[in-house]
Protein backbone atom coordinates (compact mmCIF):
# COMPACT_ATOMS: atom_id res chain seq x y z
CA UNK A 1 0.00 0.00 0.00
CA UNK A 2 1.34 3.43 -0.95
CA UNK A 3 2.31 5.94 1.72
CA UNK A 4 -0.24 8.61 2.67
CA UNK A 5 1.27 11.99 1.77
CA UNK A 6 -1.58 14.39 2.50
CA UNK A 7 -4.42 14.01 4.97
CA UNK A 8 -7.10 16.39 6.18
CA UNK A 9 -9.45 15.77 9.10
CA UNK A 10 -12.72 17.66 9.70
CA UNK A 11 -11.43 20.68 7.81
CA UNK A 12 -13.71 23.71 8.22
CA UNK A 13 -13.75 27.25 6.83
CA UNK A 14 -16.54 29.75 6.17
CA UNK A 15 -16.63 33.32 4.97
CA UNK A 16 -19.66 34.66 6.77
CA UNK A 17 -22.62 32.49 5.81
CA UNK A 18 -20.74 30.92 2.88
CA UNK A 19 -19.20 27.57 3.84
CA UNK A 20 -16.19 26.82 1.63
CA UNK A 21 -14.78 23.85 3.54
CA UNK A 22 -17.42 21.70 5.20
CA UNK A 23 -15.79 18.99 7.37
CA UNK A 24 -13.44 17.75 4.66
CA UNK A 25 -11.85 14.37 5.39
CA UNK A 26 -9.40 13.46 2.68
CA UNK A 27 -6.32 11.33 2.01
CA UNK A 28 -3.86 11.32 -0.88
CA UNK A 29 -1.38 8.52 -1.44
CA UNK A 30 2.04 8.69 -3.03
CA UNK A 31 2.14 8.52 -6.85
CA UNK A 32 -1.53 9.41 -7.32
CA UNK A 33 -2.65 11.83 -10.04
CA UNK A 34 -5.69 13.50 -8.51
CA UNK A 35 -7.87 15.81 -10.60
CA UNK A 36 -10.00 18.25 -8.60
CA UNK A 37 -13.16 19.38 -10.41
CA UNK A 38 -16.12 21.58 -9.54
CA UNK A 39 -17.96 24.73 -10.48
CA UNK A 40 -16.48 28.13 -9.59
CA UNK A 41 -16.99 28.75 -5.89
CA UNK A 42 -17.28 25.05 -5.04
CA UNK A 43 -14.26 25.13 -2.72
CA UNK A 44 -11.48 23.70 -4.89
CA UNK A 45 -8.99 26.55 -4.62
CA UNK A 46 -9.91 27.16 -0.98
CA UNK A 47 -8.94 23.58 -0.19
CA UNK A 48 -5.61 24.00 -1.97
CA UNK A 49 -4.97 27.32 -0.23
CA UNK A 50 -5.57 25.73 3.18
CA UNK A 51 -3.24 22.81 2.41
CA UNK A 52 -0.47 25.13 1.21
CA UNK A 53 -0.81 27.60 4.10
CA UNK A 54 -2.32 30.55 2.23
CA UNK A 55 -5.55 30.26 4.23
CA UNK A 56 -6.02 29.21 7.84
CA UNK A 57 -8.89 26.81 8.62
CA UNK A 58 -11.36 27.52 11.40
CA UNK A 59 -11.29 23.88 12.41
CA UNK A 60 -9.66 20.58 11.57
CA UNK A 61 -6.12 19.59 10.70
CA UNK A 62 -3.85 19.15 7.69
CA UNK A 63 -1.04 16.59 7.81
CA UNK A 64 1.73 16.20 5.26
CA UNK A 65 4.01 13.15 5.38
CA UNK A 66 2.63 12.50 8.86
CA UNK A 67 3.43 15.98 10.18
CA UNK A 68 0.76 18.43 11.33
CA UNK A 69 1.15 21.50 9.10
CA UNK A 70 -2.10 23.25 10.06
CA UNK A 71 -1.47 26.99 10.17
CA UNK A 72 2.15 26.64 9.04
CA UNK A 73 3.58 29.38 6.79
CA UNK A 74 3.62 28.60 3.04
CA UNK A 75 7.42 28.84 2.78
CA UNK A 76 7.83 26.28 5.57
CA UNK A 77 5.37 23.92 3.91
CA UNK A 78 7.27 24.27 0.64
CA UNK A 79 10.51 23.36 2.39
CA UNK A 80 8.87 20.20 3.71
CA UNK A 81 8.22 19.07 0.13
CA UNK A 82 4.85 20.46 -1.02
CA UNK A 83 5.20 22.73 -4.05
CA UNK A 84 2.58 24.62 -6.02
CA UNK A 85 2.11 26.22 -9.40
CA UNK A 86 -0.51 28.90 -9.94
CA UNK A 87 -3.22 29.52 -12.52
CA UNK A 88 -1.29 32.66 -13.47
CA UNK A 89 2.42 31.70 -13.57
CA UNK A 90 4.46 33.46 -10.89
CA UNK A 91 7.57 34.41 -12.85
CA UNK A 92 10.33 37.02 -12.64
CA UNK A 93 9.62 38.51 -16.05
CA UNK A 94 12.73 40.69 -16.17
CA UNK A 95 14.98 37.63 -15.77
CA UNK A 96 15.91 34.79 -18.08
CA UNK A 97 14.24 31.39 -17.98
CA UNK A 98 17.35 29.87 -16.42
CA UNK A 99 17.65 32.59 -13.77
CA UNK A 100 14.01 32.14 -12.75
CA UNK A 101 14.77 28.53 -11.88
CA UNK A 102 17.91 29.59 -10.00
CA UNK A 103 15.94 32.16 -7.99
CA UNK A 104 13.36 29.54 -7.00
CA UNK A 105 16.08 27.14 -5.82
CA UNK A 106 18.02 29.84 -4.01
CA UNK A 107 14.88 31.00 -2.23
CA UNK A 108 14.29 27.52 -0.78
CA UNK A 109 17.90 27.22 0.35
CA UNK A 110 18.02 30.73 1.81
CA UNK A 111 20.87 31.45 -0.57
CA UNK A 112 19.65 34.82 -1.83
CA UNK A 113 21.38 37.90 -0.44
CA UNK A 114 23.06 41.16 -1.36
CA UNK A 115 26.52 39.61 -1.25
CA UNK A 116 25.64 36.25 -2.77
CA UNK A 117 25.94 35.42 -6.45
CA UNK A 118 22.80 33.96 -8.01
CA UNK A 119 24.96 31.99 -10.44
CA UNK A 120 26.49 30.09 -7.51
CA UNK A 121 23.26 29.55 -5.60
CA UNK A 122 22.44 26.21 -7.22
CA UNK A 123 24.47 23.78 -9.38
CA UNK A 124 24.07 24.43 -13.11
CA UNK A 125 23.41 20.74 -13.65
CA UNK A 126 20.31 20.86 -11.43
CA UNK A 127 18.93 23.83 -13.36
CA UNK A 128 19.58 22.23 -16.74
CA UNK A 129 18.01 18.98 -15.57
CA UNK A 130 14.65 20.49 -14.64
CA UNK A 131 14.59 22.59 -17.80
CA UNK A 132 15.22 19.42 -19.79
CA UNK A 133 12.36 17.67 -17.99
CA UNK A 134 9.87 20.30 -19.16
CA UNK A 135 11.40 20.75 -22.62
CA UNK A 136 12.67 24.29 -21.92
CA UNK A 137 16.44 23.82 -21.95
CA UNK A 138 16.93 25.40 -25.38
CA UNK A 139 15.05 28.48 -24.21
CA UNK A 140 17.07 28.86 -21.01
CA UNK A 141 18.68 32.13 -22.02
CA UNK A 142 15.48 33.83 -23.19
CA UNK A 143 13.75 36.51 -21.10
CA UNK A 144 10.58 35.24 -19.43
CA UNK A 145 8.52 38.12 -20.79
CA UNK A 146 9.01 36.80 -24.33
CA UNK A 147 7.48 33.38 -23.59
CA UNK A 148 4.00 32.38 -24.82
CA UNK A 149 1.50 31.27 -22.16
CA UNK A 150 2.13 27.54 -22.57
CA UNK A 151 5.87 27.94 -22.02
CA UNK A 152 5.25 30.24 -19.06
CA UNK A 153 3.24 27.42 -17.50
CA UNK A 154 6.10 24.98 -18.10
CA UNK A 155 8.61 27.38 -16.57
CA UNK A 156 6.37 27.73 -13.53
CA UNK A 157 6.44 23.93 -13.25
CA UNK A 158 10.24 23.90 -13.61
CA UNK A 159 10.50 26.42 -10.76
CA UNK A 160 8.48 24.02 -8.62
CA UNK A 161 10.48 20.96 -9.69
CA UNK A 162 13.80 22.54 -8.67
CA UNK A 163 12.46 22.49 -5.10
CA UNK A 164 12.45 18.67 -5.31
CA UNK A 165 8.95 18.29 -3.89
CA UNK A 166 7.17 15.08 -3.02
CA UNK A 167 3.80 16.64 -3.89
CA UNK A 168 3.06 19.22 -6.58
CA UNK A 169 -0.28 21.02 -6.65
CA UNK A 170 -1.21 22.60 -9.98
CA UNK A 171 -4.00 25.18 -10.11
CA UNK A 172 -5.61 24.95 -13.57
CA UNK A 173 -2.43 24.11 -15.52
CA UNK A 174 -4.17 24.32 -18.93
CA UNK A 175 -6.06 27.59 -18.38
CA UNK A 176 -5.11 30.25 -20.92
CA UNK A 177 -3.56 27.62 -23.20
CA UNK A 178 -5.02 26.99 -26.64
CA UNK A 179 -7.05 23.82 -27.17
CA UNK A 180 -4.44 22.48 -29.60
CA UNK A 181 -1.67 22.84 -27.00
CA UNK A 182 -3.42 21.52 -23.89
CA UNK A 183 -2.67 17.82 -24.33
CA UNK A 184 0.95 18.43 -25.28
CA UNK A 185 1.37 20.61 -22.20
CA UNK A 186 -0.16 18.02 -19.87
CA UNK A 187 1.82 15.18 -21.41
CA UNK A 188 5.06 17.11 -20.80
CA UNK A 189 4.07 17.89 -17.21
CA UNK A 190 3.05 14.33 -16.38
CA UNK A 191 6.16 12.87 -18.00
CA UNK A 192 8.30 15.22 -15.89
CA UNK A 193 6.44 14.25 -12.71
CA UNK A 194 6.84 10.55 -13.48
CA UNK A 195 10.57 11.01 -14.06
CA UNK A 196 10.96 12.80 -10.72
CA UNK A 197 8.55 10.45 -8.85
CA UNK A 198 6.31 13.32 -7.76
CA UNK A 199 2.68 12.95 -6.69
CA UNK A 200 0.26 15.49 -8.16
CA UNK A 201 -3.04 17.24 -7.51
CA UNK A 202 -4.36 19.35 -10.37
CA UNK A 203 -7.45 21.53 -10.58
CA UNK A 204 -8.98 21.19 -14.04
CA UNK A 205 -12.18 22.09 -15.93
CA UNK A 206 -11.45 20.26 -19.19
CA UNK A 207 -13.08 16.82 -18.96
CA UNK A 208 -10.87 15.39 -21.71
CA UNK A 209 -7.76 16.34 -19.74
CA UNK A 210 -9.20 14.81 -16.57
CA UNK A 211 -10.11 11.56 -18.33
CA UNK A 212 -6.67 11.15 -19.89
CA UNK A 213 -4.28 12.25 -17.13
CA UNK A 214 -5.97 11.60 -13.77
CA UNK A 215 -5.88 8.31 -11.89
CA UNK A 216 -8.44 9.65 -9.42
CA UNK A 217 -11.01 12.45 -9.42
CA UNK A 218 -12.49 14.41 -6.52
CA UNK A 219 -15.57 16.52 -7.33
CA UNK A 220 -16.39 19.50 -5.12
CA UNK A 221 -19.91 20.85 -4.55
CA UNK A 222 -20.62 23.62 -2.00
CA UNK A 223 -17.49 23.10 0.07
CA UNK A 224 -17.73 19.32 0.16
CA UNK A 225 -16.22 16.42 -1.76
CA UNK A 226 -19.37 15.10 -3.42
CA UNK A 227 -17.67 12.23 -5.25
CA UNK A 228 -14.22 10.65 -5.08
CA UNK A 229 -13.07 7.76 -7.24
CA UNK A 230 -11.73 6.78 -10.63
CA UNK A 231 -12.39 9.12 -13.57
CA UNK A 232 -14.96 6.68 -14.96
CA UNK A 233 -16.83 6.46 -11.65
CA UNK A 234 -16.92 10.18 -10.91
CA UNK A 235 -17.50 11.54 -14.40
CA UNK A 236 -20.40 9.13 -14.91
CA UNK A 237 -22.05 9.88 -11.58
CA UNK A 238 -25.49 11.39 -12.38
CA UNK A 239 -25.18 14.02 -9.62
CA UNK A 240 -21.75 15.11 -10.86
CA UNK A 241 -22.87 15.17 -14.49
CA UNK A 242 -25.68 17.54 -13.55
CA UNK A 243 -24.19 19.71 -10.80
CA UNK A 244 -20.55 19.89 -11.91
CA UNK A 245 -20.44 19.16 -15.64
CA UNK A 246 -23.70 21.04 -16.36
CA UNK A 247 -25.37 18.27 -18.33
Instruction: Give the separation between CA 104 and CA 159, rounded to whole angstroms.
Output: 6
| Spatial contact of 113 and 121, defined as CB atoms under 8 Å apart | no
Look up the pTM and report it: 0.89
Superfamily of domain 4-81+165-243: P-loop containing nucleotide triphosphate hydrolases (3.40.50.300)
Instruction: Give the separation between CA 206 and CA 236, rounded to whole angstroms.
Output: 15
pLDDT surpassing 80 at residue 161? yes
Mean pLDDT across 180-199: 93
CB neighbours of residue 144 within 10 Å: 20
pLDDT surpassing 60 at residue 113? no
Give 214-244 pLDDT, tens digit per residue.
999 999 999 999 999 999 999 999 999 999 9
Domain borders along the chain are 4-81+165-243, 89-149
Give 6-22 pLDDT, tens digit per residue.
999 999 999 998 899 99
pLDDT surpassing 90 at residue 1? no
Instruction: Give the separation between CA 194 and CA 175, rounded to whole angstroms.
Output: 22
Mean pLDDT across 188-206: 94
Give 19-39 pLDDT, tens digit per residue.
999 999 999 999 999 999 999
| Spatial contact of 161 and 194, defined as CB atoms under 8 Å apart | no
Amino acid sequence: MNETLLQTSDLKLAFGAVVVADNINFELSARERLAVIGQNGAGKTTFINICTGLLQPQGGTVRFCGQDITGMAPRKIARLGMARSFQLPQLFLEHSVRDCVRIAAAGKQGAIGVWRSLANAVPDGDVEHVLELVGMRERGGEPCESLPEGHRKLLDIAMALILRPRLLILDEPTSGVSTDEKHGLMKTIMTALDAADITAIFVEHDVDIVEQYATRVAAWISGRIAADGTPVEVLNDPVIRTAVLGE
